[in-house]
A and B are shown apart, each in its own frame.
Chain A
Amino acid sequence: MIFSGGEGAQIHHQRHWVIWLTLLLGIIIDSFNWPAPWSAAIPDLTPLVLLYWVMAIAQRNFIITAVILGIAHDVLYHSSLGSHALIYLALLYPMLFIRLQLRNGTLFQMSLIVGLWMLAHQALSWLLHLGRIGSEQLLSFWLASLVAMLLWPLLFISLRSLRRHMRVR
């Protein structure tokens, strides 16, 4: 698509708030208080939303966004400041290399990668907290990556239709 200067600038301006709004929504949903036994099985939505935008907007590297989201996460979850920024950065970096291939894959392939990616996310946060998690929550904690895998097609399709509707490019 070819934009004239003015239109391009306007759309560039639009792009930012839609991305931030979806990320903010992700943070809000992440701080919901889900019923106890399955609360750990609900994956963090914010990294998934971030992953969508990393794939969709190939012109940006989202490194600063990842740091800001990580710090927000640390404040909400009361973990050490900077710990989730590191996790998000470590997860973001490999995705920057494969995002174009990933974007062109089928929904099934994407979901599979997202599941593995979320497993890495859980493993990193588990390591960072020195494995301090209740034994009754342990199973649902690792199940979160499977849930993320199943959730991905829905998330991907809704965010894509939002992006097309708002013409975020």
Chain B
Amino acid sequence: MTDIAISKLGKAFGGNRVVSDVTMHIRSGEFVAVLGPSGCGKTTLLRLIAGFERPDAGSVRFAGELASSATHHTPPEKRDLGIVFQNYALWPHMSVAENVGYSLKVTGVPANERERRVAEALKTVALDAMAERRPSDLSGGQRQRVALSRCLAARNGIVLLDEPLANLDVHLRAAMEHEFTRFHQASGSTMVYITHDQSEAMALADRVAVMDAGRLVQFAAPSTLYREPATEMVAGFIGEGIVLPAEDIVADGDGRAHASILGSPVQLRCAPGERARRRAAIGLHPQDIRLATANERGLSARIRRLSYRGGSFRAEAVSEAAPETVLAFDLPEQAPLAPGAAVSLAIGDGWVIPALAA
């Protein structure tokens, strides 16, 4: 069992708090993505877990055993974890096989077992033919697979991935995402995947931890993040989210609520404990907005911009009542609308973002 228990972790660089009060429990064998805009502290979190940085406060435990705290520090070389670095960090002076087998050599695994495990790991990522090549002779995708097989051969209980797709071409990314899933299934390792790309995070992870300004904002399954964002930041960040102000929220006790958005009545989802509120922020997605039918009382807006998305148009409309509110939604290709056209919009779904805990 290699779970990671992070408790109240904090780290500052010269008075600048980069990670503050992060608490999360990553279950053994889980695939967790840490997602956030650049500068949110996700890379520092990874370096704290890896042991490259020492925390100022809080602790990190692997399988119950203390690895990091303000007073205790297990150096990275004693943590038994694997890292896939953004630039792969393959040693240029060693062959592919030597790269993959290095950690086994260091820990004193006998030569014949080492060779067997290296061959096995390279076979898993379909690089067995490249074993004697130098890293410089490989393509970007192949280097990435060598980095992965390095963790496979070491049989690390924990594997950390630091934006591993950032340096790859778009067409390679999909293939590599598949490779990560396969790796996760083959190794059963606990995986922590750092990324700023939400589609990667949503596609790969069992749970996603969203970070903002050094804090853990929400840690939940991808669909929960999408449907039930905990804060306005998450609501706006995930899935082209739109945050709208609503008034007169009345919860009916079973997770449904009704309210008024820019003067139009809407049906919403909310947390079970939600109470009646005068004002709230609502999180929704372009998929939740459509043109109102003739007998619906819609929200009047004006189309500001249309961009073709292949098969449909993405429309940006500005509310007549509040011109600073931009509503994005999809229009079918056949619908003939021009910028400047007046439309009536209906909101089909939305999530009442919980009030900030006092």
Do A and B interact? no
Query: Which residues of A are in contact with B by a Cβ distance under 8 Å?
Result: none
Query: Which residues of B are in contact with A by a Cβ distance under 8 Å?
Result: none
